Amino acid sequence: MRWALVKVCLAVTAMVVIAFAVPLGLVIREMASDRAFSDAERQAAMIAPTLSITTDREELTRAVLSTEPGDRGRLAVHVPAPEGVADGTEGGPLDIGTRRATPKDVATVRKAGRASITEVTGGFALLQPTALGTGDIAVVEVFVPEGEVSHGVATAWLMLAGVGVALIVGSVAVADRLGVRMVQPAQRLAGAAQDLGEGRLGTRVPEEGPTELRSAAVAFNSMADQVVQLLANERELAADLSHRLRTPLTVLRLNAASLGEGPAAEQTRAAVQQLEHEVDTIIRTAREQRPQTQGGQPEAGCDASEVIRERMGFWSALAEDEGREVRLAGVDRTVRIPVARPELAAALDALLGNVFRHTPEGTAFSVDVHHSGDAVIVLVSDAGPGIDDPKAALARGGSGRDTAGGSVGSTGLGLDIVRRVAESTGGDLRIGRSVLGGTEVRIWIGLYGSRPERGRRGHGRRVGRRTGWQRRKEPRNATGSGARH
């Protein structure tokens, strides 16, 4: 493409140069010729006053020699003989100066009465008729050498040729640079498309070059981002769906623990444990293969109060079986948040599932919802042993790697699900010590995409007042890491 553009530009420029240079060269030659003959006419007119006064040979000779062309032997005067005077006698025709034109040409000009240019040896002769005082017609002959007729033409043509060559070279150089500017972005775009097709999802194209190619690069990068995001969403969906199975599995495990002893009970517990292991494997595999991209925005909002009441209704039954005291506050009015209903439900199930998995039976917990105008805060608190290192717990949630002290079977995805839900709205997730003495997980959900001001809101800040039954609980010192997933 680059060389094709150069060839086209070369051909077009050459045609333009030829179309203008050739006629211009001809015009220059005609101008040089006109200038030379115009000078000859002016020189011939210098002798006309003398001819109108006298036809004396000596006087005419002195007049001819006094002029520049006459002194250089380029001026001649042809005076005809008076009527009745024969040639060769006194008073016959006069020829003063060097004759170059033939008598026939001179006679033709004298008879026609108008100037003429005839070609002679070494150049041209201008024959100019001039009226005499006697009424006869004399002919003044001015010799114009060939060099004066074409004087400056060769130099002008050489300059035209140089300008033409410079234009052609310049146009080829510009076409080459233009071709490089167009071809390189196109080649990068083609190479990036091939790399993306081969599975290198991090391939992107610099958005540079002509406007059309920049638009193509922007569209390609947007498409690549969407492909990566779709793959990430698919893998996240697989991981999330698998993680949601942990909620009923938790119920099954707890119910299986109450079956007592016997082969059937042991087989049931083993099956539940195997099922939990398979679900954990699916979650880890999906998280290890997902591209590192930002989570997408929620597709639709929901009523947080309604979703929390629904999920607490589910978990309250299990809490009653284990003798756990439950408190729910702040869900008596509609609270719209920009989070899809399934996403919020999955986040709540992940946190409440952690309470049941990592705290002893009989441990109380609570869920509080607070509306601050530009955000909604959901607090999940428990009276369990707490978490010694909240930052490490969040790191496990982000990376999916368990650490010393973490519970067996933890995938590290539970807190990651909650954090992605919060961050998708411009909020965040924080872990601290609850007023119940255990862990407090705070979900900050932005209503308008605004992020919390970290200077005003401290890490693990307690929100809300302690109720009577909370004040009766004495904070317990943590005895273990209480790892959350």
3-state secondary structure 354-410: HHHHHCCCCCCEEEEEEECCCEEEEEEEECCCCCCCHHHHHHHHHHCCCCCCCCCCC
Average pLDDT over residues 37-46: 85
Average pLDDT over residues 165-190: 79
Query: Across the beta sheet with 326-329, what order do the strands follow?
Result: 326-329, 365-371, 375-382, 439-446, 428-433
Strand, helix or coil for residue 331: coil
Question: Where residue 96 falls among pLDDT bands split at 50, 70, 90?
Answer: confident
Of 349, 141, 359, which is closest to residue 244 (Cα–Cα)? 349
C-alpha–C-alpha distance, residues 442 and 429, integer Å: 6
Backbone conformation region of residue 362, classed left if phi is above 0, alpha if psi is from -120 to 50, else beta: left
pLDDT at 391: 78
364 versus 36: the higher-pLDDT residue is 364
Bridge-partner residues for 142, per DSSP? 75, 126
407 versus 218: the higher-pLDDT residue is 218
C-alpha–C-alpha distance, residues 114 and 118, integer Å: 13
φ, ψ of residue 296 in degrees (nearest 5): -75, 165
Asked if residues 97 and 77 have their Cβ atoms less than 8 Å apart, the reply is yes
pLDDT at 297: 40
Q: Work out the number of other CB atoms within 10 angstroms of the CB of residue 217.
A: 21
pLDDT at 381: 94
C-alpha–C-alpha distance, residues 43 and 85, integer Å: 30
Q: What is the mean pLDDT of the chain?
A: 76
Q: With DSSP H G I counted as helix, E B as strand and the rest as coil, what are the percentages for the chain, rounded to 5?
A: 55, 15, 35
Of 470, 417, 469, which is closest to residue 440 (Cα–Cα)? 470
pLDDT at 377: 93
Assigned token pair, 296: 């997408």
Asked if residues 417 and 394 have their Cβ atoms less than 8 Å apart, the reply is no
Average pLDDT over residues 142-156: 84
Least trusted range by pLDDT, from 18-32, 55-69, 315-329, 457-471: 457-471
Question: Which of 78-87, 158-167, 172-181, 235-244: highest mean pLDDT?
Answer: 158-167
CA atoms within 13 A on the CB side of 124: 20
Question: Where residue 484 falls among pLDDT bands split at 50, 70, 90?
Answer: low
Least trusted range by pLDDT, from 325-334, 390-399, 469-478: 469-478
Bridge-partner residues for 78, per DSSP? 95, 139
How would you classify the pairing of strands 75-79 and 302-303?
Answer: unpaired
Bridge-partner residues for 303, per DSSP? 336
Average pLDDT over residues 398-418: 53
C-alpha–C-alpha distance, residues 134 and 46, integer Å: 19
Average pLDDT over residues 44-49: 83
Of 75, 122, 125, 132, which is closest to residue 105 (Cα–Cα)? 125
pLDDT in tens, 219-239: 988 888 888 778 777 766 666
Average pLDDT over residues 202-219: 83
Least trusted range by pLDDT, from 196-210, 212-226, 299-313, 423-437: 196-210
C-alpha–C-alpha distance, residues 272 and 258, integer Å: 13
Asked if residues 384 and 482 have their Cβ atoms less than 8 Å apart, the reply is yes
Average pLDDT over residues 180-186: 75
H helices present in 198-262, as ranges: 211-244, 246-257
Least trusted range by pLDDT, from 270-284, 438-452, 453-467: 453-467
Bridge-partner residues for 337, per DSSP? 302
C-alpha–C-alpha distance, residues 378 and 380, integer Å: 7
pLDDT in tens, 286-344: 655 544 433 344 345 789 999 999 989 889 888 898 899 999 999 998 888 988 888 88
pLDDT at 454: 45
pLDDT at 444: 93
C-alpha–C-alpha distance, residues 167 and 151, integer Å: 26
Asked if residues 314 and 346 have their Cβ atoms less than 8 Å apart, the reply is no
**pLDDT above 90 coverage of the chain, percent:** 9
pLDDT at 93: 76
Across 13-26, b (16+ Cβ under 10 Å) vs e yields beeebeeebeeeee
254 versus 37: the higher-pLDDT residue is 37
pLDDT at 458: 39
Question: Where residue 480 falls among pLDDT bands split at 50, 70, 90?
Answer: very low
φ, ψ of residue 363 in degrees (nearest 5): -75, 130
C-alpha–C-alpha distance, residues 415 and 61, integer Å: 124
Question: Where residue 470 falls among pLDDT bands split at 50, 70, 90?
Answer: very low
| Whole-Å CA distances, 405 to 25, 243, 485 | 96, 21, 12
pLDDT > 50? residue 173: yes
pLDDT at 309: 92
Average pLDDT over residues 192-220: 83
C-alpha–C-alpha distance, residues 290 and 282, integer Å: 12
pLDDT > 80? residue 267: no
pLDDT at 331: 92
pLDDT > 70? residue 244: no
pLDDT at 482: 45
Of 382, 395, 380, 359, which is closest to residue 480 (Cα–Cα)? 359
Asked if residues 69 and 77 have their Cβ atoms less than 8 Å apart, the reply is no
pLDDT at 368: 94
C-alpha–C-alpha distance, residues 408 and 350, integer Å: 16
